[in-house]
Amino acid sequence: MQGGDAEGARRDLAALTQRQPNFRLANLLYGELLASLAGARGSTLIDNQQDPLLQDLTEEARLRTAGEKALPPAGYVPNAILQLDQHHPYFIVVDLPKARLYLMENGKDGEVHLVRDHYAGMGRKGYGKQSTGDLRTPVGVYHVTGWLPKDKLPEIYGVGAFPLNYPNLWDQFKHRSGHGIWLHGVPSDTYVRAPRSSEGCVTMANDDLLALKPYVTAGETPVILSDAVEWLPPDQARDERRAFLARIEDWRSKWSHKDTDGYLAYYGPGFTTDGMNLAQFVAHKRRVNAGKRFIDVQLRDINLFRYPGAGEPMMLAEFTMDYRSDNFRSTTQKQQFWRQDKNGDWKIFREENR
């Protein structure tokens, strides 16, 4: 329609409404186009803005059009992801303000590739979930925990659902409450839901949800629910990744070499872990390290996320850590939260061991 080919648009919309008779926006646009071709004046979307349903459809049309125009150039990387290990062949990014879901491939060449994208709705009150019943979709880094098939769910969830691990460790640290945040489908008599219509879940057409299924692995697939997706050129993403990996490697090396002062310098004011504040943690580590003849720390399976919705520059580093000393050894899953101080230096302010 925007290209001026009214007859081509009529054919496309006729076919689409035949294929998806419950696609309300397509039916509305088809009706408007037929009215226009017949010489009618005015537009339902323009002239009936007091109708809540038409307001929702207008917003859906705007978001769909903007989303399809804003596809990233080939090879560009969403700013929330700096690195994913090869246990995560695919990941999902949802740009909540733009109602757009992106399925990305984590290529073996260190690059990422867009597999597919589509429209997706969110909570009735928008995003930024804080508490039970606030009707908002959370912002953060999550993982799919499983698949719930249609026969285990009420009709409202459509063909199935991917539950997410909300509240995650960061949400719990921030005292956020609520549960049951899923990616799910829609009832069989509906093609999609309005942009803001769920109780906090991310909703999408049933066909779109099923299209994700081959790429999603329970416990592995990351889902980034973002309040501001930016797409970085590959070179910039690579440089930022290398810089942060070097920072983590220096932290590891100083610990392994028993450079306790250098190691502890990476921890900033306000740091907490396992019930300890910074002063308690420093005293504990000095005491432990002083009693070791040797320490060897090795890191693997490193994931780096630029954490969305934090209100300040914040990074999440996830990795498996193998620790070995003369009298102790362990393997742990560690999460480190880093933030940038006013001098531009990155400091760890929260650590979680799983």
The domains of the chain are located at: 6-69, 77-232, 234-353
268, pLDDT greater than 70: yes
User: pLDDT grade, residue 350 (50/70/90)?
Assistant: very high
26, pLDDT greater than 60: no
pLDDT score recorded for residue 88 = 94
From CA 1, how far away is CA 285, in angstroms rounded?
66
The structure's pTM equals: 0.86
From CA 237, how far away is CA 242, in angstroms rounded?
9
pLDDT score recorded for residue 194 = 85
Question: How does pLDDT run across 181-206, given as a tens digit for each residue?
Answer: 999 999 998 878 888 999 999 999 99
pLDDT score recorded for residue 110 = 66
Identify the CATH number of the domain defined by range 77-232.
2.40.440.10
Sheet containing 276-277: give its strands across: 81-83, 295-306, 314-325, 329-340, 346-353, 267-273, 276-277
Cis peptide before 167 (omega within 30 of 0): yes
291, pLDDT greater than 50: yes
Q: State how far Cα 268 lies from the chain centre.
A: 27
Q: Which of 307, 274, 245, 263 is nearest to 79 (CA)?
A: 307
pLDDT score recorded for residue 37 = 47
pLDDT score recorded for residue 203 = 97
43, pLDDT greater than 60: no
Burial 182-195 (b: 16+ CB within 10 A, else e): bbbbbeeebbbbbb
24, pLDDT greater than 70: no
From CA 9, how far away is CA 311, in angstroms rounded?
43
Question: How does pLDDT run across 51-105, given as a tens digit for each residue?
Answer: 676 677 777 777 878 888 888 998 899 999 999 998 899 999 999 999 999 999 9
Is 234-353 CATH 3.10.450.50? yes
From CA 89, how far away is CA 104, in angstroms rounded?
9
pLDDT score recorded for residue 1 = 47
Question: How does pLDDT run across 295-339, given as a tens digit for each residue?
Answer: 999 999 999 999 999 989 999 999 999 999 999 999 999 999 999
48, pLDDT greater than 50: yes
Mean pLDDT lowest among 3-7, 151-155, 294-298: 3-7
139, pLDDT greater than 60: yes
Q: Which of 202, 180, 207, 176 is nearest to 191 (CA)?
A: 207
Helix axes 24-37 and 6-19, enclosed angle (nearest 10): 150
